Each structure stands twice: as C-alpha cells, then as structure tokens.
C-alpha cells in the first residue's frame, strides 16, 4: 500500500514515516507540508491512502480533503493531534470524504511511538475495505423475515464516507413529530461517536443520542450506533451490540443492522443507503426491498463517494434512487402513508 503523509510538523511526519516503513507491503508515496501541496501532489500521483492532518497553514485538512475528493479521489484517514479536541473539524472532514480519524502518534520516552498500534489498525481496516471493494466481495448474511405485528415504524439510515453531511441534510429536514424511530449506522470510531451524536443533534429537529444496549425503538428519537461492535435488533425488538460477524471490513456494519430488521423487527420500516466507500449495506438493502420494505439509494451526483449506493443500485436493491435533498421527504411520505393505512 502506497501511503502519503500530509502534516506540517516534521517530528510527526518522521514518526509516521517510521511506522509505515516497518510494515511489509507499506511504503511512503510522498510527503506534503500542507493541504495546498497535498492537493497538487495528489493530482500528479494518487496514493492508496492519505494520512491527513487537520490544522495546517495555507490550506487545512478539511479543505484539502474536499479538493482531493472532488478532483483526485482516494481514501483519506485524518491523523490529528487530538481527535476529541478537534471533533468538529473531524466531522467536517468526514462530511467531505475522509473515511476515519485517529490521533497522531508521538514519540515516547522508550523510543517507541505511542499510538502506533491505533494508527496501524486504522490503516489495516481501510486496506481491507479497499481490497473488499476491488474484489467485489459481498457479505452473505442469512435473513428471516418477520411478519408485521406492530403499528410502529422504523427509519434506518446507513452511511460511510461523506455520511455526516448527508445525514445532516436528512435530519434537518425530517419533521419534529415524525411517527417513526430513526436508527443511524455510520462508519465512525467509538472514540468520537458521542461527539458525532452531539454534533448531529445540533442540526436535527428530533432528539439524537447514542444507542444503548436494551434500547427500545420509540417514535421521534434518533439513535446512533456508538461502538465498534455491530448494532443489531434482537428477538425482543431491542437494540443490542454484538461482535459477530468478525470479518466485516467496517464496524459497525450497515448490512448487519439491515438484516436484523428482517429477522426481528415486527413493524413497518423504510431504509436509505447513503454515500460511502465499499459495498456495506447493499446486500441488506436488497433483502429489505425483496421483503416489501421501501428502500432508497442516494444518487451518484450527490454522493461524496458513490460506492455503497452504487453497489445497491447494481443489485436493484433500491425502490428509488434520489438526490440527497429529496430523500428525507420521500421517507417521510412513506412513513405517513403507513400511519394513515394503519388507522
């Protein structure tokens, strides 16, 4: 894997360079001292992955990521001094195309880099996602439809790269009296999932919080997957987290949640698969559609990365393929129609 480093701190660059070159199969593609140089370098030589700092002169990491994803798209991992302290900018970067974020490794007193393992874990995870996309593999999760025995309704949203911005568009448009529970599965690390939920809540008319083990799905509440385990609806129609399946490139998995809807949710449901790299959620969306559930895929023109929705479209898994500005209205109309029909 050819990895580029974008950082204006020489010590940070050197620590990351050492970490990368200690792993067989990894090499440094190029190094840029700021976002402006990174955009230029990427235009000439697109690497397999960019380690992008956020706070830099000339052009910060958010603007650099936006430019790169628009003109020379490639996977971007935000590497910043503190993910927690820079949470708002991290979410901005993810909105414009960054995949994930991790704190910058620092040289410890022993000579070993503190944070080395966390960085390598993120790189390996993204590498698996890239490989899975290239090989066009898909998850094979068994499903078992459950009859509609409830008047409740569930709105399920799955997203990855560029997802934060897409989710804001939807949440800011959904009515505050929406007669449905909303569950979001976004590829986001548990270390800043609380900040992510708080950030979404600033734009939502509905209350937003992290999903907890044992949560019931109540109308008018937005629950966000908040750990590195998979969010799942169990046999009692409660939300739980579970480790399996272990082989999925990203955790939490959209496919796992979508399939649990079929297995254990007795009410009505609608689902949308939003912008993101890879194929997660496409198989699950297909199973939902085949069992009579209204499904939507975000269209190519409004996706930051047309990967997950594209995979769904290729499987004919979406009832409708819509621009992001139209998705909330379409989902709301379907939910309201369910409500009228059940009266």
Catalytic residue (one of 34, 53, 189, 280) = 280
CATH value at residue 130: 3.40.50.2300
Q: Which among 160, 193, 237, 253 is annotated as catalytic? A: 160
Instruction: Kindly report the average pLDDT of the chain as a whole number.
Output: 89
C-alpha span between 326 and 171 (Å, rounded):
12
Q: Domain boundary at 102, 135, 168, which?
A: 135
Write down the pTM of the prediction: 0.75
| pLDDT confidence of residue 176 | 94
Task: Tell me: do 246 and 301 sit in the same domain.
Answer: yes
pLDDT at 315 over 80: yes
Domain housing 34: 2-135
Give the tens place of pLDDT for each residue, 150-200. Answer: 578 999 999 999 999 999 999 999 999 999 999 999 988 888 889 999 999
Higher pLDDT, 314 or 141: 314
Residue 120 sits in the same domain as residue 266: no
Residue 134, pLDDT score: 58
Which is more confident, 137 or 100? 100
Give the chain's radius of gyration (CA, Å): 20
Token digits of residue 158: 């799955």
The answer to whether residues 161 and 131 belong to one domain is: no
- Per-residue pLDDT band for 249 (boundaries 50, 70, 90) equals confident
Our answer to whether residue 138 is catalytic in this structure is no
Query: What are the two backbone dihedrals, phi and then psi, of residue 278, each rounded to the nearest 5 degrees?
Result: 100, -155
Asked if residue 143 belongs to a domain, the reply is no
- Euclidean distance between CA atoms 208 and 57, whole angstroms: 35
Query: How does pLDDT run across 27-64, given as a tens digit for each residue?
Result: 999 999 999 999 998 988 899 999 999 999 989 999 99
Active site residue 187: yes
In the chain, what percentage of residues exceed pLDDT 70? 93
Q: Which of 34, 72, 100, 187 is catalytic?
A: 187
Token pair for 68: 């790169």
- 108, 135, 162 — which closes off a domain? 135
99-128 average pLDDT score: 86
CB 175 within 8 A of CB 203: no
Residues 45 and 122 in one domain: yes
pLDDT higher than threshold 50 for residue 145? no
Active site residue 280: yes
Q: What is the pLDDT of residue 144?
A: 41
Q: What is the tally of structural domains in the chain?
A: 2
Mean pLDDT along residues 311-340: 95
Residue 255 sits in the same domain as residue 322: yes
* 163 plus 292 within the same structural domain: yes
Both 106 and 158 in one domain: the answer is: no
Residues sharing a CB contact under 8 Å with residue 283, sequence separation 6 or more, in sequence order: 138, 139, 140, 141, 255, 259, 315, 317
């Amino acid at each position: 894997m050819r990895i580029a480093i974008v950082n204006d701190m020489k010590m940070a660059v050197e620590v990351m360079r050492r970490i990368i070159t200690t792993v067989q199969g990894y090499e440094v593609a190029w190094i840029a001292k700021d976002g402006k140089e990174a955009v230029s370098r990427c235009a000439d030589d697109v690497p397999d992955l960019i380690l992008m700092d956020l706070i830099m002169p000339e052009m910060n990491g958010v603007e650099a990521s936006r430019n790169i994803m628009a003109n020379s798209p490639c996977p971007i991992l935000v590497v910043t001094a503190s993910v927690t302290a820079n949470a708002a900018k991290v979410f901005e970067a993810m909105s414009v195309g960054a995949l994930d974020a991790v704190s910058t490794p620092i040289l410890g007193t022993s000579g070993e880099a503190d944070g080395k393992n966390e960085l390598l874990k993120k790189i390996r995870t993204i590498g698996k996602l890239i490989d899975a996309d290239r090989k066009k593999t898909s998850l094979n999760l068994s499903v078992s439809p459950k009859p509609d025995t409830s008047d409740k309704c569930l709105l399920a949203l799955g997203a990855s790269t560029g997802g934060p911005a897409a989710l804001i568009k939807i949440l800011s448009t959904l009515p505050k009296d929406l007669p449905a529970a909303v569950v979001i599965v976004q590829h986001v690390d548990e270390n800043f999932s609380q900040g992510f939920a708080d950030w979404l809540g600033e734009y939502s008319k509905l209350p937003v919080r992290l999903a907890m083990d044992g949560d019931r799905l109540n109308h008018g509440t937005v629950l966000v997957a908040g750990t590195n385990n998979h969010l799942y609806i169990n046999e009692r129609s409660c939300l739980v987290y579970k480790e399996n399946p272990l082989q999925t490139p990203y955790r939490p998995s959209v496919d796992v949640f979508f399939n649990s809807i079929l297995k254990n949710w007795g009410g009505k449901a609608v689902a949308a698969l939003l912008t993101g790299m890879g194929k997660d959620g496409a198989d699950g969306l297909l199973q939902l559609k085949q069992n009579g559930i209204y499904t939507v895929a975000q269209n190519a023109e409004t996706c930051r990365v047309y990967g997950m929705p594209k995979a769904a479209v290729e499987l004919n898994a979406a009832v409708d393929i819509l621009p992001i500005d139209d998705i909330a209205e379409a989902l709301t109309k379907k939910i309201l129609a369910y409500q009228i029909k059940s009266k």
